[in-house]
Chain A
Amino acid sequence: MSNQPSVPNFDAQNYARPNQNWICGHACEGHACRQGPDANGRCRATAECKPMLETKPGEIKGRWRCTRSGGECEAGPLPDGSCCRPIAKCSPVPTLRVWRGRMTLAVVAASCAVLLVLVGRPPWRNQFISPGEISHAHSGELFAAVFATNHFKENCQACHVAGNSGPGGIVTAAMHAKPGILDFQGLANARTAEPTAIDASCLKCHAGRNFHQANAPPISCSFCHAEHQGKIMAAPTDANCVFCHGNSATLVAARVNGGVVPVIHHFAGDHPQFRFLSEKWRDPDTLKFNHALHLTSATIPKLPGGEKLDCTFCHQPDATGALMKPVTFENNCRVCHSLQFDPATPQLMLPHGSVESVTAFLRSLPKQYLNLAIKENTAVANAFVAQKLANLRTLFGSGEELEQRVFFSTATYGPETQIGTLSGSTRAMFPGCAHCHEVKATASGLPEIRKPVMPERWLLQAKFTHAKHTAIGCAQCHDAIHSEATADILLPPKETCAACHSPRGGVADSCAECHTYHKPRIAAR
């Protein structure tokens, strides 16, 4: 680097200490005075020397002598003893250290001022110091209404005693906190989930923790319910749940009526089998339906579009995508299962849904045929009706016998394969209500048909949404092709869920994935 342009080396004789706060105002011109400014930035320049009074023996007044370094000046001191060569005063310049100190003071002052303004004014304070958005439950209209009733304001004060205090009140609250500010031992030894003073605020509204089970242990509300985490209160973590559910002593103490709640740590591990399996639940529905037959039998015909009958024809997701729409006769069964009872009159169908309607329909058959004749402009309506009724009598006998056949028969008019067929010119005949329903005779004469009961959900303690599981086929969870009885509950066992919802499966497996907090609600079935 020999060709590097160099810098003129500084004069070591005139070394200026870099930690000086002030520099002589003449320094930039290259002739700073020797004394330099004082600590407060004032110029100390006076004169080039301080004359000294010399009094020789025998003299009374003495003589002032120049003490200038570098030699006495020509003029010498003035008669009053002052130097004849005063130095021009300068305006000392602050160094960067001084500017840095000033900037530090300014930042500290600005910080204090901003904090005083923001913390001193309640409307700004609440917004500024809040560590996050309050959940809707504690900030919405309902909450405001509750607090209006209780003469509280909807602000920090609702939960925090210091919330409505000024800066002094906040400091006082901090000083009286337990554990205290400097109580490190207390902070380190605090017990997990131990109720704290702020729980008293929760109990103002949630008296006795009334949305919890009565036998739940008295733990701190904030242990599970973390506020200031957003509009929707964050779900409890697994650690929150396992604090009770993973502790056998807690569970034993919380037993009700001798019941046993198993110790649970992980879904894939010690979470019990689903109750419908462990308790061998059976579907109480009286509708006779064979999933295996409908999904696998070769006798099941194709749908009008030529498609094979599959799960999705009957089980369609509801608007939310979480559950399935209820299966209905009109939407899902009628397309194959005809209600045509008169083989020669496909235009006439039995009503569906009510015993009374069917009975009324059958007992007014002459009128029904007459209406049909008028509707179809039959030339001789009365003859048409008479012929139809005669045909029915030939087939079924009397009207009473026809009713018996309609309600109680499980037989069909032809081979079994014709029940649901759509092929040919006519649709399949109606075999009788009892073919699908449980029909009982009663003393009143009208039969009783048990309404089908199809629960929307089986496992009410857990939440589930089909919408998040559309990537997998129905049969991977629901073993419908092997189910021949209505009583079969076609939910998957825990192991099927845990295949994905586990650390090994890689899908979320926290308690809150499936469970919300569970105050006993309605029976599972």
Chain B
Amino acid sequence: MNRFRRQFFIGLFALVAATVAALWAHRRFHHALPDYAFLTGWALFAAMFVLTFFNARKKLPFLPLGKTETWLQIHIYLGFFTVVLFLIHLNFRLPHGGFEITLAWLFALVSISGVVGLIFSRTLPRRLATRGGEAIFENIPALRHALKTEAENLALGPEAKSPFIGEFYTQRLAPYFAGPKNQWRHFTESRRALHALLAELDDLRRFANDSDREKIEKLAALMRQKDGLDYHRSLQLALKLWLFIHIPLTYGLIVFTLLHIVLVFGFSGGAR
């Protein structure tokens, strides 16, 4: 059994065991403890705090707090368990009132975005590896610019002598090389746009001599490279964009949770 599989089974076992224990405790103490909701609330908040600390942990690599990989595993399985705690805290009922509904929606969005992120981080790197090539997201504009320059030189440079290739480049390929294209199609693994453009380029062969055909071949190769670059951008962007929901909403959730704690104690039976 390899390390990842072992991690998965340990995490899954821990999650199932914790869930069973929590549900048993809920059944046992739900009616027995008058302040049960307060206790489950604190447990939920503690879990949320640990989950949030994962982000802080990544920014404090110098502290001896264990490996980030371990933290990530804890983050994933504790995240799922937090959903169980959340349902227990709600006593498996829908919340009421504007504040509590907002709080519940924030929790739901953070949880769902986390699950989406987990799915992305488990599937998209595999797709990127299958497609081949390497490109750091921040370097993609530079790489694209280099491809564009090369294609421009081929089609419009001083040695370019084919007006139909130049015209085709100006009309059809210049916009293609100018920026990222077909981002959603790449995400859904569709190559239709590239093949359509390659087919158009291929049609130029009818008018081309040997030298022009060589240029067309090179342009097609550059288009494929650009397509691969766009593919990397699309998937890498998805790998980053889910965090734009997950992290900001997490901190928003923390703000709402802190107020929730103040409100329940300020308005609870123990308050004067």
> Which of B16-24, B68-76, B166-174, B224-232 lines the interface with chain A?
B224-232
Output the nearest chain B residue to A163 by Cβ-Cβ distance.
B267
Q: Is the CB of A28 within 8 A of B34?
A: no
Q: Which residues of A contact B194 (CB under 8 A)?
A: 5
A223 at interface by CB-CB < 8 Å: yes
> Which of B5-13, B81-89, B97-105 lines the interface with chain A?
B97-105
Distance A283 CA – B68 CA, assembled complex (angstroms) = 81
7 shortest interchain CB distances as A-B pairs: A7-B133, A5-B224, A196-B269, A132-B96, A28-B141, A174-B265, A107-B248
Chain A nearest CB: distance from B199 CB in Å? 15
Q: Which residues of A contact B139 (CB under 8 A)?
A: 10-11, 14, 16, 27
A411 at interface by CB-CB < 8 Å: no
Q: Which residues of A contact B126 (CB under 8 A)?
A: none
Distance A267 CA – B135 CA, assembled complex (angstroms) = 71
Given contacts A7-B133, A173-B267, A198-B271, contact A190 B33 (CB under 8 A): yes
Chain A nearest CB: distance from B86 CB in Å? 16
Secondary structure call for the B interface: helix
Given contacts A1-B132, A7-B228, A193-B34, contact A188 B269 (CB under 8 A): no
A170 at interface by CB-CB < 8 Å: yes
B67 at interface by CB-CB < 8 Å: no
Distance A188 CA – B98 CA, assembled complex (angstroms) = 29
> Which of A123-131, A146-154, A381-389 lines the interface with chain B?
A123-131
Chain A nearest CB: distance from B67 CB in Å? 17
Q: Is the CB of A30 within 8 A of B263?
A: no
Chain A nearest CB: distance from B198 CB in Å? 10
A374 at interface by CB-CB < 8 Å: no
- Listed in ascending order, the chain B residues whose CB lies under 8 Å from chain A are 31-35, 38-39, 42, 95-100, 130-139, 141-147, 149, 194, 224-225, 227-229, 231-232, 240, 243-244, 247-249, 251-252, 255-256, 259, 261-263, 265-272
Distance A380 CA – B240 CA, assembled complex (angstroms) = 114
Q: Which residues of B contact A129 (CB under 8 A)?
A: 97-99, 263, 267
Distance A220 CA – B267 CA, assembled complex (angstroms) = 15
Q: Is the CB of A181 within 8 A of B261?
A: yes
A178 at interface by CB-CB < 8 Å: yes
Chain B nearest CB: distance from A158 CB in Å? 12
**Partner among B97, B225, B244, B271 whose Cβ is within 8 Å of the Cβ of A5:** B225
Chain A nearest CB: distance from B173 CB in Å? 15
Q: Which residues of A contact B270 (CB under 8 A)?
A: 177-180, 196-198
Q: Is the CB of B34 within 8 A of A16?
A: no
Given contacts A5-B225, A188-B39, contact A173 B99 (CB under 8 A): no
Given A160-B267, A181-B261, output 13 extra A-B contacts at Cβ < 8 Å: A4-B130, A4-B228, A6-B133, A8-B135, A8-B147, A11-B139, A16-B139, A30-B149, A163-B267, A173-B272, A177-B270, A187-B42, A198-B269
Distance A100 CA – B245 CA, assembled complex (angstroms) = 9
Chain A nearest CB: distance from B28 CB in Å? 13
**Partner among A20, A107, A173 whose Cβ is within 8 Å of the Cβ of B271:** A173
Given contacts A115-B255, A129-B263, contact A18 B136 (CB under 8 A): yes
Output the nearest chain B residue to A184 by Cβ-Cβ distance.
B42
Output the nearest chain A residue to B224 by Cβ-Cβ distance.
A5
Q: Is the CB of A190 within 8 A of B34?
A: yes
Q: Is the CB of B266 within 8 A of A162?
A: yes
Q: Is the CB of A9 within 8 A of B271?
A: no
Distance A417 CA – B249 CA, assembled complex (angstroms) = 86
**Partner among A7, A108, A162 whose Cβ is within 8 Å of the Cβ of B135:** A7
Q: Is the CB of A23 within 8 A of B138?
A: yes
A228 at interface by CB-CB < 8 Å: yes
Distance A7 CA – B129 CA, assembled complex (angstroms) = 11
**Partner among B247, B259, B265, B267 whose Cβ is within 8 Å of the Cβ of A181:** B265
**Partner among A7, A197, A223 whose Cβ is within 8 Å of the Cβ of B272:** A197
B-facing residues in A1-38 (Cβ within 8 Å)? 1, 4-11, 14-16, 18, 20, 23, 27-30, 32
Q: Is the CB of B267 within 8 A of A111?
A: no
Distance A267 CA – B117 CA, assembled complex (angstroms) = 51
Given contacts A18-B137, A115-B255, contact A6 B228 (CB under 8 A): yes
Q: Is the CB of A1 within 8 A of B130?
A: yes
Q: Is the CB of B255 within 8 A of A187?
A: no
Chain B nearest CB: distance from A509 CB in Å? 17
Given contacts A5-B224, A7-B229, A104-B247, contact A197 B269 (CB under 8 A): yes
Distance A348 CA – B256 CA, assembled complex (angstroms) = 84
Distance A208 CA – B38 CA, assembled complex (angstroms) = 29
Q: Is the CB of B228 within 8 A of A103?
A: no
B-facing residues in A186-209 (Cβ within 8 Å)? 187-188, 190-194, 196-199
Output the nearest chain B residue to A199 by Cβ-Cβ distance.
B269
Q: Which residues of B contact A96 (CB under 8 A)?
A: 137, 240
Q: Is the CB of A127 within 8 A of B259?
A: no
Q: Which residues of B contact A193 (CB under 8 A)?
A: 34
A161 at interface by CB-CB < 8 Å: yes
Q: Which residues of B contact A30 (CB under 8 A)?
A: 142-143, 145-146, 149
Distance A190 CA – B147 CA, assembled complex (angstroms) = 71
Distance A161 CA – B266 CA, assembled complex (angstroms) = 9
Q: Which residues of B contact A110 (CB under 8 A)?
A: 252
Q: Which residues of B contact A171 (CB under 8 A)?
A: 262, 266
A112 at interface by CB-CB < 8 Å: yes
Chain A nearest CB: distance from B64 CB in Å? 20
